[in-house]
A and B are shown apart, each in its own frame.
Chain A
Amino acid sequence: MTGENKFFKYLKIVIGFLVAILFLLPIFILLMDSFKNQRGILTDVLGWPNPFIFDNYPKAMEKMNFFNSLWNSVWITVVSTALILLFSSMAAWVLVRYKTKISKVMFILFAVALLIPFQCVMLPLMSIMGSKEVFSITLGDATFALNGLNILNPFGLVFTYLGFGCSMAIMLYHGFIKGVPEELEEAAMIDGCSMFKTFWKIVFPLLSPINTTVAILQIMWIWNDYLLPSLVLKEQSWYTLPLQTSKFFSTFTSSWDIATAALILSMLPVVIFYLIAQKKIIKGVVDGAIK
């Protein structure tokens, strides 16, 4: 390698680390300020915490009901993702293997739905999920009224995630299953395996690479989602982490000491998850974007 090339190589590394510091700086300032009291933040926002205070964290935990909302976030994300994985792969499998017109139409239907922005369905969806009348039709003397399903609760939310998430998941599974050979399944079915058993024992295990991709994408979306849960979850004991953080911010707009601690607390689970599963997350994101 020539001298000039070596110079550029080191220059790149130096620039890289400087940019990395710039990237981390906002989080670092936030972290530092979460150990100051309100006066410390207002008088010296950029300085080292002096005195060093830990009170903000227990206070923030209590005010945002941290463990309860963490638990809500965890189980809603896990259950929704599991259902999306199972049901979307089942759907995609039959859509690939049954080479009929209906399969094609269904596939296009799921694909087109990806274009619909949430704001477009949110109002009608809320009336469907609510308990009031969605609409009524009068024919002659009789009036037919259709009432909502009354599912504005965490279970309704999981159901909604399945409906919104399955489009993208079916796309990804569909692309993958097309490349999976059919012979094994046929052999199993000839041997008398039921359709579900064939799927569960033979097809599903072959899907593990794409399962990871789908799971990562769904987890990232559901975990961070704010608008949908804010409309569906009416009781505060059901709140997920983003919801609780937002509620917290509208109540304590100017108490930055507790607010910074609350923000760090809410970011922590994601950062830990990232440190554990970085490679899989990045692979999932690349595969999900390119397909």
Chain B
Amino acid sequence: MSKKITAYKVTKIFPSPRGQVVAVKDFSLEVEDGEFVCIVGPSGCGKSTFLRILAGLVPATCGTCAIHRSPDAPPGKPLNSVVFQEYAIFPWKTVRDNVAFGLQMRGVPKKERFRIAADWIQRVGLKDFADCYPHELSGGMKQRVSIARAFANDPEVLLMDEPLAALDAQTRAVMQEELLRIWESDRKTVVYITHSIDEAVLLGDRVILMTARPGTNKASFTVPFPRPRDLSLSSTAEFAQLTYGIWNLLQEEVHKTMEGRAR
């Protein structure tokens, strides 16, 4: 197996008028090709910041961070595509144009990009909504568009920043299963940020635990459950055991965060 992502001692310091804020400190991560890695941590621990550094949206203050191209990648294949928590799909583009956006920016001819977009729109179950504008869709459907846009762009790695956090609990459960199904049919390397341990264990091959701010490596868990998985996994004793084990470590960090706030 080859390494897809190597991040070594990534640190991010935000300057502010009241002094510096260290968001991420010496965080390291290695991800194999085709691996689904979930990063869990208390809120405000800098996990989103790390993802944005990985995506190249903000520069790291120090440390190195790289996404490796596969040797047989066609020219123009993007390094990463982000699925944002707030959907971040364009209200002025139809579902089809949103999903085809990355391909359009890369200069893929219209016919070809619409063919790829149509395929992904069908895979996320929005076939009848291809010509709709986002305001005509529900929250879950918008996030499907966002996911389809990322997959259709066919990047080296997918970066997901709490993609299901804005959805209600029932829609989230449905979307988790759907995400599993889509990912298992097209095993891309994924880095998935979440604050839900259940979600991380259900979806991921590995769960990385981050400390309270400044965020750094706390622990790493390998998720042993076989694929294909579905929601029934979450009712097994092994699942409960693993999530509880992670929670035991995480709650220390949550308490730290809360005490930090109280002060």
- Do A and B make up one complex? no
